[in-house]
Amino acid sequence: MARIDYDGATAASFRAAREIPRSGLGAWEEAVRRHLNPVPGMTVVDVGAGTGAFATAFCDWFGVRVVAVEPSGAMRALIPPRAGIAVRAGHAAALPLPDAGADAAWLSTVTHHVPDLAAAAREIRRVLRPGAPVLVRNAFAGRYERLRIVRWFPETARTLDTYPSVEETCEAFASAGFTRAALESVPQSDLSSLAELLERADTLRTADTLMRGLTEEEFARGKERLREAVLAGRTPRGADLTSSLDLLVLR
Ligand SMILES: C[S@@+](CC[C@H](N)C(=O)[O-])C[C@H]1O[C@@H](n2cnc3c(N)ncnc32)[C@H](O)[C@@H]1O
């Protein structure tokens, strides 16, 4: 079972509050390019593609073909139809691709939704050609120093610690023959002010697994913290606005 039922309302909230604008993804474009070594026409399987934000970015940035695999019909429906993206129903342990049919796998904020990561790793092994990379963009248990949401809503760390850790993820993929090739923290930016984060808090509460794990009191306290910072007119430091997720690469 995924932690969130990505139905119609949640899919719309996800698009509104969670998609990072392309302008805030420069560091991700650079990091992915380094590990993917993209060649136009190569096939990337986007596992748990959501509303297609990265599928479209990969087409634009690298000229690759993307097979966007997504279990939720409501999320799939929001993937923009375009050349270069094939949208398919499926999930991490049942990918609608032939053996060795892809040159890389991309999993963005998905591993914590996958009920059996070792089964997913075996399926990803099946669809990747030998030597192809798996790129995992995620928050991992125990690694929350650079997560903005934890700064403002510290109790989100409780749910984060139920996510697979880097070590658990590597173990699951090792059982399918992958080894860890790299781990780096990559910044992203989707806000120009704290007021924007405050405005977005209620929508995030429905679309973000970490925010959904808060009690009403914890959520209210975090909002109050933000409101005070906004009212104080404090100029936010970069660290208040940007956030980082990890990029774990396995081959
Ligand atoms: C937080 S969203 C991330 C969407 C997209 N990857 C992105 O970064 O914009 C998580 C997605 O994983 C999907 N998902 C849930 N369980 C899954 C599974 N077992 N295999 C693949 N995807 C899954 C959900 O339907 C949802 O679209």
Q: Which residue has the higher pLDDT, 197 or 237?
A: 197
Residue 2 CA, ligand 1 centroid: distance in Å: 8
Residue that has been written with the tokens 């690759």 in this structure: 64
Beta bridge partners of 8: none
Residues 6 or more apart whose CB falls under 8 angstroms from that of 176 comprise 118, 121, 122, 124, 125
Rounded CA separation 188/47 (Å)? 20
Gap from CA of 228 to ligand 1 centroid (Å): 34
Q: Do the beta carbons of residue 49 and residue 70 sit within 8 Å? A: yes
Q: Is the pLDDT of residue 1 over 60?
A: no
pLDDT 10s digits, 117-175:
999 999 999 999 999 999 999 999 999 888 999 999 999 999 999 999 999 999 999 99
Among 12-21, 171-180, 209-218, the range scoring the smallest mean pLDDT is 12-21
Dihedral pair phi/psi, residue 187, rounded to 5°? -80, 155
Q: What integer pLDDT is reported at residue 2 of this predicted model? A: 67
User: Which stretches of 63-171 are assigned E, i.e. beta strand?
Assistant: 65-69, 85-88, 104-108, 134-138
pLDDT in tens, 16-71: 878 899 999 999 999 999 999 999 889 999 999 999 999 999 999 999 999 999 99
pLDDT for 237 beyond 90: no
Over residues 230-247, the mean pLDDT reads 82
Q: How confident is the model at residue 240 (pLDDT cuts 50, 70, 90)?
A: confident
Residue type (1 letter), 195: A
Conformation bin of residue 73: beta by default, left when phi > 0, alpha when psi is -120 to 50: alpha
Q: Name the phi and psi angles at 131, rounded to 5.
A: 85, -10
Query: Measured in angstroms, how far is the CA atom of residue 233 from the centroid of ligand 1?
Result: 37
Residue 239 pLDDT > 70, yes or no? Answer: no
Sequence letter at residue 117: L
Q: Which atom of ligand 1 is nearest to the CA of 208?
A: 1
Which atom of ligand 1 is nearest to 19's Cα?
9
Between the CA of 75 and the centroid of ligand 1 the distance, in Å, is 9
Q: Which fold has domain 8-250?
A: Rossmann fold (3.40.50)
62 lines ligand 1 (CB under 6 A): no
| Ranges of each domain in the chain | 8-250
C-alpha atoms less than 13 angstroms from C-alpha of 8 in its C-beta half-sphere: 0
Looking at every residue in the chain, the average pLDDT score rounds to 94
What pLDDT score was predicted for residue 132? 98
Other beta carbons within 10 Å of 41: 10
Residue keyed to tokens 């399926």: 123
List the Cα angle 89/93/95 in 5-degree steps. Answer: 40
